[in-house]
Amino acid sequence: MLYLDNLTKVYRRGVRANDGISLAVAAGETLGLLGHNGAGKTTLLNQVVGLARPTGGTITLLGRDPVAEPAWARAVCSFQPQAHAPLTGVTVRQAIESIGRIRGGHRRAVRRRTTELLAALDIERWADQPGERLSGGVRRLTAFCMAVVEPGQLIMLDEPTNDVDPARRRLLWAQVRELAAAGHGVVLVTHNIAEAERVIDTVMILNHGRVTATGPPAALAPDRQLRLEVIGTAAPTVPAWALRTSRADGRLTITLAAENAQLAVAWAASMTSRFSLNPVGLEEFYLTLTANPETNPDATLVS
């Protein structure tokens, strides 16, 4: 559905916001874009929807060129920008219905879909409140509804869960899954890595405008590493199989390779029963990749 080939964006002051990015999003697939602040995620989305013009490379959306046809691109692509939606003076319901109509929906269908979305995200009690009286989280959820009330074939969400409470974040992720299941391509920018891991089919990690890693979350979570947490023991000698060790708040954390799991359990059990062993998630992987972005920006791990 969406193909980027060697997409490069250099701003006038010489900042390389995107540097040779290639990616593909199929219908029904959810791509998660992760990366530090200023990594170039929003710039990437802006180019697809025609707010910014690429310096180099090509974008192909549904077989056409959105750079040459920005009006068409905006029609087939629903975008939730990171900035707040215009809600001042408008109620939640009015905002969602108006944008649904502007996006081409029919009155009755839009009204029905709005009611469904309000219920699905559990924000019905604010439906008739004007935007200026809403909390940041409800505003963000409203903006999400405005983007997906009349969804285009491609849906791009820029940090849709910022300020949203944990319960409603789950409801939002469920909606994203439903949209993908209905055949929409979804591009998701988020910092909520641990949660997004469950809805994302493919992850792409950007670092200073370049792709640092890409692949399914399960494949990326680094070559089967585990994390051992041991609580409240005196400082033991660090075993030889430990890859990384850290100690904080009376808690010893050791990262180890998966094949040493049995050794680790035996070692921990010999000291205490208060320990846990978990697979390292995407978030840890992300942190190790971007912890020292300056030292090795060329590290590419493409699975």
Partner 1 sequence: MRHWFRSYLLLLRWSAIRLRYLLSLVLVVQIFLSVGIVLGFAFLLPQIDSATARYLATGAPTLGLITIGMVMAPQLVATAKTEGTFTYHQTLPVPRTAVVVSEVTTWLVVGAPGLRLGLLVAVLRFDLTLRVSWLAVPAAVLVALAATTVGLAIAYAAAPPVTNMVTQLIVFIALMFSPINFPADRLPEWLQTVHQVLPFQHMAQVVRDSLTAGPEGVPAGPYAVLVAWCVLGFAATLHIMIRRA
**Which residues of the shown chain bind partner 1 in the complex (CB under 8 A)?**
11, 46, 49-53, 70-71, 74-75, 79, 81-86, 88-90, 94, 98-99, 101-104, 152
Q: Name which of 68 and 299 has its Cβ closer to partner 1.
A: 68
Bridge-partner residues for 77, per DSSP? 154
What minimum distance in Å lies between the beta carbon of 52 and partner 1? 4
C-alpha 53/C-alpha 51 separation (Å) is 7
Question: What's the half-sphere exposure (Cβ side, CA atoms, 13 Å) at 246?
Answer: 4
Q: Name which of 67 and 252 has its Cβ closer to partner 1.
A: 67
* DSSP 8-state secondary structure symbol assigned to residue 67: T
Residue 147, token pair as written in the block: 């983007």
Residue 113, token pair as written in the block: 């879909």
SS3 state of residue 176: helix
Q: Name which of 83 and 291 has its Cβ closer to partner 1.
A: 83
Q: Name which of 49 and 282 has its Cβ closer to partner 1.
A: 49
Q: Name which of 39 and 221 has its Cβ closer to partner 1.
A: 39
List of residues 6+ apart from 203 with CB closer than 8 A = 31, 32, 34, 197, 213, 214, 215, 216, 217, 220, 282
List of residues 6+ apart from 201 with CB closer than 8 A = 29, 30, 31, 180, 216
For residue 270, CA distances in Å to 241, 266, 279, 296 come to 16, 6, 21, 39
What minimum distance in Å lies between the beta carbon of 95 and partner 1? 8
Q: Name which of 20 and 70 has its Cβ closer to partner 1.
A: 70
Residue 188 and residue 155 in contact, taking contact as beta carbons nearer than 8 Å: no
What minimum distance in Å lies between the beta carbon of 78 and partner 1? 9
Q: Name which of 153 and 288 has its Cβ closer to partner 1.
A: 153
Q: Give the neighbor-by-neighbor strand order of the sheet with 275-279.
A: 242-248, 251-257, 225-231, 275-279
In single-letter form, the type of residue at position 244 comes to: R
